[in-house]
Amino acid sequence: MKVIPKNDIRNRDDVAILVSIFYKKIRKEEHLGPIFNHMIKDWDKHLDRLIDFWETNLLFVPKFKGNPIEVHKQVDRTFNHSITNVHFGIWLQLWIATIDDLFEGELATLAKNRARKMSTTLFVKMFQDRPSHKMIPNK
């Protein structure tokens, strides 16, 4: 069987394909779907913002304006500080798997590395924002 090589992420259309397919998975995922579907009321608008975000971070086209750290802190507050590193791990695994299904190359690798760093930073900043009695999740 002949293996067909995948293209790298090259432009906004590629970013849009990645983001759209990835968030279809997120919306159905048992742990993440309820959180995302509760918080996001206009998925088309949100996907456009996410495409801008990743286009800015991967293709260096300065389109995204926003504060992901503050948004994630608000999500954690909305869910009574119950977001854990497991949620971020599931998100990251799905992101990497989606990239691996669709693309390969330098920008695909950059997308995975940026997501690893971003997920760690977002979780730490969110965790630091919690009231002291919420620092350790209940078991």
**What's the confidence (pLDDT) of residue 136?**
57
**Tokens representing residue 113 in the block:** 């590395």
| 3-class DSSP assignment, residue 10 | coil
Q: What percent of the chain has pLDDT over 70?
A: 94
Instruction: Tell me what pLDDT residue 128 has.
Output: 92
Decide if pLDDT at 110 tops 80: yes
How does DSSP assign 72-138, residue by residue?
HHHHHHHTTT---HHHHHHHHHHHHHHHHHH--SHHHHHHHHHHHHHHHHHHHHHHHTS-GGGSS--
**Position 89: which residue type?**
G
Indicate the DSSP class of residue 11.
Answer: S
10-52 pLDDT, tens digit each: 999 999 999 999 999 999 999 999 999 999 999 999 999 999 9
- Token pair for residue 108? 């695909």
Residues 63 and 52 sit within 8 Å (Cβ to Cβ): yes
The predicted model gives 67-95 an average pLDDT of 96
Rounded CA-CA distance 33/103 in Å is 24
Domains of the chain (ranges; CATH) run 12-130 (1.10.490.10)
Q: What band does 2 get if pLDDT is binned at 50, 70 and 90?
A: confident
